[in-house]
Chain A
Amino acid sequence: MLLRSFVLRLTCAALIGASMAPSRVVCAADERRFAVVIGNDLGGNDTQPLLYARQDARRMKDVLLRVGAVKDENAISLLGADAAAVRAALADVERRVRLATNQGLRTALIVYYSGHAKNGDLRLGTSRLPLDELRARVSHSGATIRLGIIDACRSGAVTRSKGARRAPAFEIEATSNAQAEGTVFLSSSSFDEDAQESDHLEGSFFSHHFVNGLQGAADRSGDGRVTLSEAYAHAYAQTVASTADSAAGPQHPTFGYDLKGNGDFVLSEYARRNEGLLFPAAAPAGTYFVIDNQGVIAAEVDKPINEVRRIAVRPGRYIVKRRLEDRLRIGNITVAANQLSTVQDANLADAPFSDDPVKGAARDVAGIWSLNVGLTSQAFFDQPTREGLFPNSGLLAAELSVANFFRRHWVASFDVAAGGGNGEVAHFASAVPFRTNQLNLGTSLWTEWPYFDGDLSLFAGARVAFLFLNRRFEDDVLPAQHFSTFSPGLLAGARYKLTRAVTAMVRTRVHYLLYNVDENRSLGFMELGAAFEYGF
């Protein structure tokens, strides 16, 4: 197989403008594209769960559908799937590629993987898919262009055997007018490096920068298209820069290719989609951060002086931030469907660094404190107990919690609740009304599972509470009584992010209580609560 280099000096636009001999840049619209996007946070017992692999896959699929000329019916998304499902998906896409090829169409296959890799295998939960097998399946898929993107630890192994290079860009020498065909593999890290995730980005560094590049950030030539080499060059530079100061050290993406013919592969035609943000030539030069309503960086744009830049972000509300030496310039902007919104510097306002809208920008992501206040309803399971001893109670509760303190997605909390209820204790043929007052002090530890980009989280954990109850009888016909005890329990619930700082929460707790005044009795009670949480 002939390995060639190609210097990307020519662009599709330039060639079209020159209306010369055959194009040497394969335009996205010229072929049928297929994509298999795989994301799996889990890699088996000997690995720590990843946080954002599935999120990376979602974003990659989204950008390929929006600007990557992949139609929805030709995109297969595998989130949390095992090796068998991946093999089946590859078989299915190979069949579709053959059908398209038989129809005389050029085809492109993009296989993206974000997850664990270890000892030459992709780890898909407890199952394994050898990198060599994946490489062979992609290489022999029959597509004209085969692109494999592996975002995993030590994923450089996938490129190593075929002329792997750890370089800021790959250069392909233009020696033929034939359109390029062959296989390219990109990996997020070298064969001996870890691929790193970022809580600020809520994704891996490499995938974030690659996706950002496809949205337009990588368009060095300014022709409205992002070629494979532009995307790689952008992702390489940004990944190395982003991870240079990390504890794990800088992360170096690698590539390997086996191409015939020449011409670069246009991965994204973001400018054809008249949607996103436009940074006019008059806008000050610098790096602009586009932050979504979750406080996550959706795009980064390096705008040179007196040049126009575009970024094809999804429709939505964003905060645009530019960082100066002594302050920030911040403004809100909305991107409507099929609309290009212009970022005007006049619409940005000065703000101190403490007002940085990026989640976690001003502090370490570990130890995020929040306070929630809400109402809780408490009921004992045993009906006689509920009616005559511990009646249903309403509690006003406050809880101070710290997330990611012990480990990611684990939350520890301390809570206090006060309230009471009304009951009647049977007294032979009559009943004595009473009112209870209750003070609960508790500490909890739970783990969260985020869904929908972290907007929704389910959680479950354990709690120990100290309960103090007091009851007073109507008209003080009897002396007041009190009871106090420790009570262990389990909790579960869901949190939904309403804004960047405010979260709505519903929660249930099931507790055990040893009542030992009259006799030893094992009792259980349940609490249902709703609260609003403010994150500091």
Chain B
Amino acid sequence: MIKTHPLRAVTLLTLVGLTACGGNYSNDDIEYQTSVPQAEDLTPNIAAQLVANSAETYRFTYGMVGSYRAILGFVASLLDHVRQNPATQRLANGRVWGPFPDREHPGFEVKVMITRGGDAAAPQFTYSVDFASARTRMFVPVIFGTFDPRGAIGDGSGQVTLDFAGLRSTGFPGDRDTTNIMKIEMVHGRKDGSRTLEVHQTNTEAADNRRTDLTYAEAPDGAARTHFVMAVTNNLWAQELDVVSAWRSDGAGRGELKVTQGLATGLLGIDCWGPSTVATYVRRDWNEAVNAGDVNTCVLPALR
């Protein structure tokens, strides 16, 4: 029979107790955790699901928004890690999370650093998400930006850049959605339930379109407006398209596609749709055969 000396038990209990001391109970952490954009700050929303005969402009908008959400969701999940986990290291004017393994990409590690600048009345937070292969551990800034968190919690504005070229330099495996992206720059803002988002995507020469610009605005009731400007290669008729879509909170809306560069410059296509997203009015300047419906069914006026 093994006897335990009482002092040993007391010492063990004391050590267990001491190691239990501490925690993440921190007001400063809150400042840092709320000084990176939330996932939804960086992703546009779409009102309703597609159906078989959804309006064509709505289909286009839905596809574009979906692509962005797929790309930017990756960024958002990394920033959400900051919000949901205590900092690994607390510095005088900064916090560090990680390095921690990227669970979705084995073999790669992520480190997030946020630093605070400015003064107490007008603080400026700068953040950087660095990637490295676990083999080299040479961290490269891939996502970096600034954030002004003033306002209610969740509100704030900032800009962020996603450097896909830098990401690929770490050996990070690309996918079909991001292979041809050089970088994405975003300017975002949220206040009192409304939000705005600008996305400027620059692609490689191998892409069909060298550049895409998205402007998104959302009202507190869910009504929203998207504006894409897309540079198109290898198309003399339409070298740049300008697509504006807007919808109410019930999903009913209007879309306008305009050729802004190329031989067909100035031609306009209009779709109006109801809450089901099925077209109620269609007009195409370049093909009168498809014009149909009653313009009075459009719930929104002209978008430009």
A residues bordering B, Cβ < 8 Å? 388-389, 425-430, 432, 466, 469, 471, 477-479, 481-486, 516-518
What are 24 A-B contacts defined by CB distance under 8 Å?
Answer: A389-B27, A427-B152, A428-B149, A428-B151, A430-B151, A430-B152, A432-B30, A466-B17, A466-B20, A469-B25, A477-B153, A478-B153, A479-B84, A479-B85, A481-B29, A483-B24, A484-B22, A485-B21, A486-B18, A486-B21, A517-B24, A517-B25, A517-B90, A518-B26
Please report which residues of chain B, range 183-228, place their CB below 8 angstroms from some CB of chain A when the two chains form the complex: none
A478 near B33 with CB under 8 A, answer: yes
B21 near A428 with CB under 8 A, answer: no
Nearest B residue to A430 via CB reads B152
Residues of A within 8 A of B22 (CB): 483-485, 516-517
Please report which residues of chain B, range 1-43, place their CB below 8 angstroms from some CB of chain A when the two chains form the complex: 17-18, 20-31, 33-34
Residues of A within 8 A of B141 (CB): none
Beyond A469-B23, A518-B26, 4 additional contacts (C-beta under 8 Å) are: A427-B30, A427-B152, A430-B153, A517-B29
A477 near B25 with CB under 8 A, answer: no
A427-B34, A486-B17, A486-B18 known; A481+B150 contact, CB < 8 A: no
A428-B151, A478-B153, A479-B83 known; A517+B30 contact, CB < 8 A: no
A466 to chain B, nearest CB (A): 6
- In angstroms, Cα B29 to Cα A483, docked, is 13
* Residue in A426, A430, A483 whose CB lies within 8 Å of B25: A483
B73 part of interface (Cβ distance < 8 Å): no
- In angstroms, Cα B157 to Cα A428, docked, is 14
Please report which residues of chain B, range 66-105, place their CB below 8 angstroms from some CB of chain A when the two chains form the complex: 83-86, 90
Residues of A within 8 A of B152 (CB): 427, 430
- In angstroms, Cα B192 to Cα A429, docked, is 13
Nearest B residue to A466 via CB reads B17
B154 part of interface (Cβ distance < 8 Å): yes
Which of B17, B25, B85, B86 has the most chain A CB within a 10 Å cutoff? B25
Nearest B residue to A482 via CB reads B23
* Residue in A388, A429, A466, A482 whose CB lies within 8 Å of B24: A482
Residues of B within 8 A of A427 (CB): 30-31, 34, 149, 152-153
B28 near A518 with CB under 8 A, answer: yes
Total chain B interface residues with beta-carbon distance under 8 A: 28
Residues of A within 8 A of B154 (CB): 477
- In angstroms, Cα B46 to Cα A115, docked, is 91
Residues of B within 8 A of A516 (CB): 21-22
A371 to chain B, nearest CB (A): 24
B83 near A517 with CB under 8 A, answer: no
Residues of A within 8 A of B149 (CB): 427-428
Residues of B within 8 A of A428 (CB): 123, 149-151
Nearest B residue to A426 via CB reads B27
* Residue in A432, A466, A483, A486 whose CB lies within 8 Å of B153: A432
- In angstroms, Cα B93 to Cα A289, docked, is 76
Nearest B residue to A474 via CB reads B153
B residues bordering A, Cβ < 8 Å? 17-18, 20-31, 33-34, 83-86, 90, 123, 149-154
Nearest B residue to A427 via CB reads B153
Which of A466, A484, A516 has the most chain B CB within a 10 Å cutoff? A484
B25 near A482 with CB under 8 A, answer: yes
Residues of A within 8 A of B26 (CB): 481, 517-518
Nearest A residue to B120 via CB reads A428
* Residue in A426, A429, A477, A484 whose CB lies within 8 Å of B23: A484
- In angstroms, Cα B90 to Cα A471, docked, is 20
- In angstroms, Cα B34 to Cα A479, docked, is 11
- In angstroms, Cα B23 to Cα A485, docked, is 9
Which of A469, A471, A481 has the most chain B CB within a 10 Å cutoff? A481
- In angstroms, Cα B27 to Cα A485, docked, is 17
Nearest A residue to B28 via CB reads A518
A481 near B151 with CB under 8 A, answer: no
B97 to chain A, nearest CB (A): 12
Residues of B within 8 A of A478 (CB): 30, 33-34, 83, 153
- In angstroms, Cα B29 to Cα A517, docked, is 9
B76 to chain A, nearest CB (A): 16
- In angstroms, Cα B94 to Cα A518, docked, is 11
- In angstroms, Cα B154 to Cα A389, docked, is 20
B87 to chain A, nearest CB (A): 10
Residues of A within 8 A of B123 (CB): 428
Residues of A within 8 A of B34 (CB): 427, 478
- In angstroms, Cα B34 to Cα A428, docked, is 11
A478 to chain B, nearest CB (A): 6
- In angstroms, Cα B30 to Cα A388, docked, is 12
A481 near B23 with CB under 8 A, answer: yes
A481 near B17 with CB under 8 A, answer: no
Residues of B within 8 A of A518 (CB): 26-29, 90
- In angstroms, Cα B18 to Cα A484, docked, is 9
Which of A426, A466, A477, A516 has the most chain B CB within a 10 Å cutoff? A477
- In angstroms, Cα B125 to Cα A427, docked, is 14
Residues of B within 8 A of A517 (CB): 22-26, 29, 90
B153 to chain A, nearest CB (A): 5
Residues of A within 8 A of B150 (CB): 428-429
- In angstroms, Cα B90 to Cα A469, docked, is 20
* Residue in A388, A466, A484, A486 whose CB lies within 8 Å of B27: A388
A247 to chain B, nearest CB (A): 28
- In angstroms, Cα B86 to Cα A28, docked, is 85
- In angstroms, Cα B27 to Cα A354, docked, is 58
Residues of A within 8 A of B30 (CB): 425, 427, 432, 478
- In angstroms, Cα B150 to Cα A430, docked, is 8
Residues of A within 8 A of B33 (CB): 478-479
Residues of A within 8 A of B84 (CB): 479
Residues of B within 8 A of A471 (CB): 25
- In angstroms, Cα B31 to Cα A479, docked, is 13
- In angstroms, Cα B25 to Cα A516, docked, is 9
A481 near B153 with CB under 8 A, answer: no
- In angstroms, Cα B27 to Cα A93, docked, is 72
Residues of A within 8 A of B153 (CB): 427, 430, 432, 477-478
Residues of A within 8 A of B21 (CB): 484-486, 516
Residues of B within 8 A of A426 (CB): 27
Residues of B within 8 A of A481 (CB): 23-26, 29, 86
- In angstroms, Cα B123 to Cα A80, docked, is 67
A519 to chain B, nearest CB (A): 8
- In angstroms, Cα B29 to Cα A516, docked, is 13
- In angstroms, Cα B31 to Cα A469, docked, is 20
Nearest A residue to B123 via CB reads A428
Nearest A residue to B19 via CB reads A484
Residues of B within 8 A of A483 (CB): 22-25
Nearest B residue to A433 via CB reads B153
- In angstroms, Cα B30 to Cα A427, docked, is 8
Which of A428, A469, A483, A517 has the most chain B CB within a 10 Å cutoff? A428
